[in-house]
Amino acid sequence: MIFRQLFDSESSTYTYLIGDASTGQAVLIDPVREQVDRDLKLVGELGLKLTYVFDTHVHADHVTASGLLRERTRCTVASGAGGAACADLQLHHGDEVRVGPSIFFRVLATPGHTDDSVSYLLEDRVFTGDALLVRGNGRTDFQNGSASQLHDSITRVLFSLPDETLVYPAHDYHGHTVTSIAEEKRYNPRLAGQSLEEFIHTMETLHLPKPQRIDVAVPANRACGRTPAPPPQGH
Q: Which residues lie near ligand GSH (CB under 6 A)?
A: 59-61, 130, 136, 138-139, 171, 173, 208, 211-212
139's contact among ligand GSH, Fe ion, none, with CB below 5 to 8 A by partner kind, is ligand GSH
> Among residues 64 and 179, whose Cβ is nearest to Fe ion?
64
Residues near Fe ion (CB under 5 A) are 130
> Among residues 103 and 127, whose Cβ is nearest to Fe ion?
127
SS3 for the chain is CEEEEEEECCCCEEEEEEECCCCCEEEEECCEHHHHHHHHHHHHHCCCEEEEEECCCCCCCCCECHHHHHHHHCCEEEEECCCCCCCCEEECCCCEEECCCCCEEEEEECCCCCCCCEEEEECCEEEEECCEECCEECCCCCCCCCHHHHHHHHHHHHHHCCCCCEEEECECCCCCCCEEHHHHHHHCCCCCCCCHHHHHHHHHCCCCCCCCCHHHHHHHHHCCCCCCCCCCCCC
> Among residues 24 and 211, whose Cβ is nearest to ligand GSH?
211
20's contact among ligand GSH, Fe ion, none, with CB below 5 to 8 A by partner kind, is none
> Among residues 1 and 206, whose Cβ is nearest to ligand GSH?
206
Q: What is the nearest approach in angstroms of ligand GSH to the Cβ of residue 12?
A: 7
229's contact among Fe ion, ligand GSH, none, with CB below 5 to 8 A by partner kind, is none
Q: What is the nearest approach in angstroms of Fe ion to the Cβ of residue 50?
A: 23
On whether the CB atoms of residues 77 and 67 are closer than 8 A, the answer is yes
> Among residues 48 and 109, whose Cβ is nearest to Fe ion?
109
Q: What is the nearest approach in angstroms of ligand GSH to the Cβ of residue 113?
A: 6
Q: What is the nearest approach in angstroms of ligand GSH to the Cβ of residue 46?
A: 28
Q: What is the nearest approach in angstroms of ligand GSH to the Cβ of residue 131?
A: 10
